Amino acid sequence: MSRVYNFSAGPAVLPEAVLKQAADELLDWQGSGSSVMEMSHRGKEFVSIYEAAEADCRELLAVPDNYKILFLQGGASGQFAAIPLNLANKDATADYLVTGSWGKKAVKEAGKFVANANVVAQPEKFTTVPAQADWKLSDDAAYLHITPNETIEGVEFTDVPNVDVPVVADMSSTILSRPLDIAKYGMIYAGAQKNIGPSGVTIVIVRDDLMGNATDGTPMVWDWAQQAANDSMLNTPPCYGIYMCGLVFKWLKAQGGLSAMAAINERKANKLYDFIDESAFYANPVDKAYRSLMNVPFTLANAELDAQFLSEAKAAGLHTLKGHRSVGGMRASIYNAMPEAGVDALIEFMGAFASQHG
Ligand SMILES: *Cc1c(COP(=O)(O)O)cnc(C)c1O
C-alpha cells in the first residue's frame, strides 16, 4: 500500500493514524462486536462516542459553557439557509462581508429568507480584504456574516470585526488550524470535510441566547434550538462521521492542541509562500497580509504548462493540485493532516519543474 500526498481542498487528507485506528475498529468497536456504523445512536456505546467528541472539541477550541456544539448534516451550505432562519425573520436585514466565492454563495442563499441580504463590502478581485472603515454596515442588521478563510481564492483574515451585532463565521476551511476566541462570535460553523473529518458532518457552535427564535416554518432539522435540546439527535445524526471527527480531535490533542498546530501550519505555509515569492516561475496573487494558511493558490508563468505540471506532479505522488475552475492555475490545500514532508516534497517538485521549464 502506498499513500500519496493529497492536496485536495475537500474532502481532504485525514491523519494516517486516524485512518489506521478506524480500520482496526471497523468490524468490532472496542469489544462491542459491532461497527460504529451498525450501532443505535441512542445506545450507550454511541452516546459515549458522541460525548467524547463533544468534550474534546470543546477542549480544543476552548468553547465557553454558554455555547452549544452541534454535529449536524447538510454541510456548510445547509447553514447558509439555517443562519437567516435562526437569527433573523422574513422582514429583517442581514449583513454579509464577501471576500470570496463562498461568501457570495452564502449571501445569495440568505436572500431567500430575509428581506435584505446586504453586502457590506466586496472587493473587485478576491485577493484582499476591505478595511472595516470602508464597509457599509446596516443600522438594523440581525447579524454580520464573514468567511474568515475563502477556500477557493486562498484569502484569510483573522481579525474579528468589531460590531454591535452577532458575528457569524463560516470556518469550514480554517477551523482547528489555530486557536480561536469563540466568545467574539455569535455562531461559527464548518463542514467537516476540509479540516475535521469526513464529509457528512457539519459542526455548529452557537451562543445560547441566539437560539429559540427561529422563523415560523423553519424545518425542525434546521432549528438549532431543537437540535441543541436533543444533543444533535433530533433525528439520526451522522454517526460514523462524528466518530471519525472524534478520532481527529484525539489526534489533535496528542499533537499538542491548536497552538502546536498553528506553529506547524505557519511553518508549512510560510515555506511554500516564500518559495513562490522567490521564484520567477510561480506567483500567488493574494495580498501578503491576507494569505491563507490552509489553501495556497498559485499560477505558473506559462499556463500552457498547467496540464504537464499536474501530470508530472501526480506521477511524483503529489495529487489534486488543480486550482478551482473559477480561479485557474494550481491550489495546494495544506490542512492539519498534511505532513510537513508533503509540503517539502511539493516545493522540491516545483523547483525541479521550474528549472526545467523556466
Ligand atoms: C467547502 C466550503 C463550503 C461548502 O461546504 P459544503 O459542506 O459542501 O456545503 C462552504 N464554505 C467554505 C468556506 C468552504 O470551504
Whether residue 2 is predicted with pLDDT greater than 90 in this model: the reply is no
pLDDT band, very low/low/confident/very high, at 1 (cuts 50, 70, 90): low
Burial of 85 (0-12, 13-18, 19+ CB in 10 A): buried
102 is catalytic: yes
Q: Is the CB of 76 under 6 A from ligand 1?
A: yes
For atom 14 of ligand 1, the residue with the nearest CA is: 172
Distance CA 245, CA 70 (A): 12
Distance CA 52, CA 26 (A): 18
Distance CA 12, CA 118 (A): 32
pTM, to two decimals:
0.98
Distance CA 62, CA 34 (A): 33
Cell 468534550 -> residue = 55
The string of pLDDT tens digits covering residues 276-313 is 999 999 999 999 999 999 999 999 999 999 999 999 99
Distance CA 127, CA 55 (A): 37
224 is catalytic: no
pLDDT band, very low/low/confident/very high, at 146 (cuts 50, 70, 90): very high
Q: Is the CB of 56 under 6 A from ligand 1?
A: no
The string of pLDDT tens digits covering residues 18-69 is 999 999 999 999 999 999 999 999 999 999 999 999 999 999 999 999 999 9
Choosing from 152, 155, 173 the residue with most ligand 1 atoms within 8 A of its CB, the one to mutate for a pocket test is 173
170 is catalytic: yes
* Catalytic pick among 56, 95, 170, 223: 170
